[in-house]
Amino acid sequence: MKKRWWLIAALVLGAALIISSYWLLNRYQESRINPQELLTESLEKTATAKSFRYTLESTLEVEGRKEVISKVQGEKSPEGNIHIKGEMVKTPVDIYHFDQAIYNWDSFSKRWLVIKDNQTNSTKVLISELDPLSNFNFKSISEVKKTGWETIDGNRCLVVNCKPSVENELLEILWQGFDYNIAIDVKERVVRKATLQATSKNNSATHLKLKVEFRDFNDKIAVVKPVMK
């Protein structure tokens, strides 16, 4: 009986040593991650994703007063079709983007309004909501540094801070001093979550804040064009 207990104890100790060695090896490898290289690789891989789901919230802070600009859930199909639903400027929205046109549900007339991209600037106005990856088009990236770790949907993520020069017409015209915190899945090398803060070029007391989270990369996501009535 005593011999059996010694055997069990030895097996438990051996398993503990294997687990701890694996944990230490992972942490050692993580400590050697170059945040600049990881960020560049993850941005490139995220940008090439054919489909994904996301949540996006953008807010405006004016002299300490917070106003929600948009709060939406979105999905993009492998064919490039997009659907978002939520709220923008305190108004419910249900919008599809198919074949260079926006299908917007009008709650007053109870019908879908179709707006071609070349007929209006609606697509440009909605660029963050319809194309959240547009917020990560950078001309250059400086001051990249690790700020910590975060687990998102079971995925271990390294959070890096950076201050890039952005390549986004709407952001460039109105804002400056871009500051990003980006949570990168170190295994899959994709962006899982990011926050952005910028300051108005016209009023230093006005700030833009944006948070976006991604999931279900390259899944078979079906976005079906709404039935017109």
- What SS3 string covers 168-215? CHHHHHHEEEEEEEEEEECCCCEEEEEEEEEEECCCCCEEEEEEEEEE
Kindly report, residue by residue over 38-69, the tens digit of the pLDDT: 999 999 999 999 999 999 999 999 888 899 99
Residue 24, pLDDT above cutoff 80: no
Tell me the backbone φ, ψ of residue 77, rounded to 5 degrees: -85, 165
DSSP state of 35: H
Report whether pLDDT(228) > 90.
no
- DSSP label at residue 80: S
Alpha-carbon dihedral 9, 13, 18, 24, rounded to 10 degrees: 160
Cα–Cα distance between 117 and 112 in angstroms, integer?
15
Mean pLDDT of 164-169: 88
For 70-123, how does the pLDDT look when each residue is reduced to its tens digit (9 = 90+)?
A: 999 999 999 999 999 999 988 899 999 988 889 998 888 888 988 887 655 555
Q: Are 160 and 176 in contact (CB under 8 A)?
A: no
Q: Both tokens of residue 195?
A: 């926050």
Residue closest to 185 by CA, chosen among 142, 227, 216: 216
- pLDDT level of residue 5 (50, 70, 90 thresholds): low
Long-range contacts from 85-94, C-beta under 8 angstroms, 24+ separation: 88/129
Cα dihedral 220, 51, 68, 89 in deg (nearest 10): -80
Place 143 in a pLDDT band, splitting at 50, 70 and 90.
Answer: confident
- Is the pLDDT confidence value at 17 over 50? no
Q: Is the pTM of this model over 0.85?
A: no
CA-nearest of 63, 59, 58 to 203 is 63
C-alpha 141/C-alpha 36 separation (Å) is 9
First to last CA, the chain: 79
At which residue do the structure tokens 């917070």 appear?
Answer: 66
User: Cα(52)–Cα(49) distance, rounded to whole angstroms?
Assistant: 7
